[in-house]
Amino acid sequence: QPEPVEQEQEPAAPIPENQPLSLEALNILSTVAAAAQAITAPPDYATNIFLKASQILDRLLAGVNTQEKDFDLLPSGVSLSDLGARIQAKEVLEVTSDFSAMLALLRWRLKLECCVRESRSSLNHVLKTEMTPNAKKDIRKYLRWCKDAGMLVAFAQGGSIYLLVIVACARVKKDLKKLSSDMYLRLSNHLKCPDENSPVGKKIVDAIIPAVALLQQKYPCLYFASLLSPADLSLFKIFDNVALE
């Protein structure tokens, strides 16, 4: 009998490395890490940032339980225009409103994506038909919202709603808006797969993940899926507690 021919195995695809971050993105990550360290400070040194995080999570938990206006569970039939009105109402500086504005923006972006898929139309067409009568004039604003939502999606893909709380407490919203879409993606990759041997990964592992774990321990049962449609979340590959598994 002929000897079996040994087939050559194809080499495994290389594991993509986390791409380097810009100086602006590094500064933002450092600010978020500093806020995270303040949250995990010993109880005797309760920081203002920890109190802000607690305030946000208290309201968030109350919203889940009582359908409070800011953090409520939205009915499935809510329109894209109604969600846009919520963003307009929440674009303020107060930190808890910062967080509720994040949720409003995420909801709007997810709804927009669903409208685009259902209508099989372009994003611009949906914005002009589903938003306000002055949508043509406001199209730049809506496109800015899309970009800003991309920033939030990048952090949300890190796998925990508690991470967005830390970002809100760090007050880096204005700085984040200056980053490119590519840099959002790089940030997201670092958060999902931190390299402990790199300075960036070390900040995530040593500062951010412990703060997320602490907030999750103190305020359990808060998930993206409690506030946003699980089906919509899956479109953007947003899953709960990925970083802690």
What would the pLDDT profile of 40-68 be if each residue is shown by its tens digit? 887 655 567 778 888 888 877 776 544 44
- Half-sphere exposure for 200 (CA within 13 Å, toward CB): 22
Helix, strand, coil share of the chain (percent; to 5): 65, 0, 35
Amino acid at 55: Q
The per-residue pLDDT for 8 is 52
Q: Are 184 and 151 in contact (CB under 8 A)?
A: yes
For 189-198, give one letter per residue: b (16+ CB within 10 A) or e: bbbbebeeee
Give the pLDDT band (50/70/90) at residue 105.
confident
CA distances from 136 to 111, 121, 131, 228 (A): 19, 16, 9, 28
52: closest CA among 193, 235, 211?
211
User: Distance (Å, rounded) from C-alpha 29 to C-alpha 45?
Assistant: 23
Residue 223, Cβ neighbours under 10 Å: how many?
Answer: 18
pLDDT higher at 13 or 41 = 41
170: closest CA among 191, 155, 159, 157?
155
User: Distance (Å, rounded) from C-alpha 35 to C-alpha 38?
Assistant: 5
Q: Where are the domains of the chain?
A: 23-244
pLDDT at 82 over 90: no
pLDDT at 93 over 50: no
pTM (predicted TM-score) = 0.74
The per-residue pLDDT for 43 is 66
pLDDT at 138 over 60: yes
The per-residue pLDDT for 239 is 59
User: Distance (Å, rounded) from C-alpha 15 to C-alpha 17?
Assistant: 6
